[in-house]
């Protein structure tokens, strides 16, 4: 009797999807789309929501300076090799 050849249509689940879900450096949230929902700044992940927030804040807004300070820390972290 001939053995039925195994179908190779079965797709193996690759690793953990969580690997692609970075945490935002600013708001500490994990966006639903993972890395697609943001960008890396000096090795730190910034989600699109925070990016939008930063872009919409005016210079006079105290929140703007909080954001800038956080970004500055992220960048200086990178400079020190961490
Ligand atoms: Zn964020």
Q: What is the pLDDT of residues 19-46, one digit of tens each?
A: 568 999 999 999 998 888 999 988 889 9
Q: For residue 48, is it within any domain?
A: yes
Residue 75 resides in a domain: yes
Q: Give 56 Cα–ligand 1 centroid separation in angstroms.
A: 14
Are 45 and 22 in contact, with CB atoms under 8 Å apart? yes
How many angstroms separate the alpha carbon of residue 72 from the centre of ligand 1? 15
pTM above the 0.95 mark?
no
52 CA → ligand 1 middle, Å? 9
Q: Binning pLDDT at 50, 70 and 90, where does residue 6 land?
A: low
Range of the domain at 51: 19-79
Domain count, the chain: 1
In a domain, 70, yes or no: yes
Q: What is the pLDDT of residue 22?
A: 92
Tell me the C-alpha to C-alpha distance, in Å, between residue 23 and each of 6, 52, 82.
41, 16, 17
Indicate whether 5 belongs to any domain. Answer: no
Cα 40 to middle of ligand 1, angstroms: 11
Q: Residue 11 pLDDT > 60, yes or no?
A: no
């Amino acid at each position: 009797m001939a053995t039925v050849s195994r179908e190779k249509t079965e797709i193996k689940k690759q690793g953990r999807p969580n690997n692609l879900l970075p945490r935002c450096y600013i708001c500490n949230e994990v966006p639903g789309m993972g890395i697609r929902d943001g960008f890396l700044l000096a090795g730190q992940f910034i989600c699109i929501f925070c990016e939008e927030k930063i872009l919409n804040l005016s210079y006079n807004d105290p929140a703007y300076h909080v954001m800038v300070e956080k970004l500055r820390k992220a960048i200086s972290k990178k400079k020190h090799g961490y």
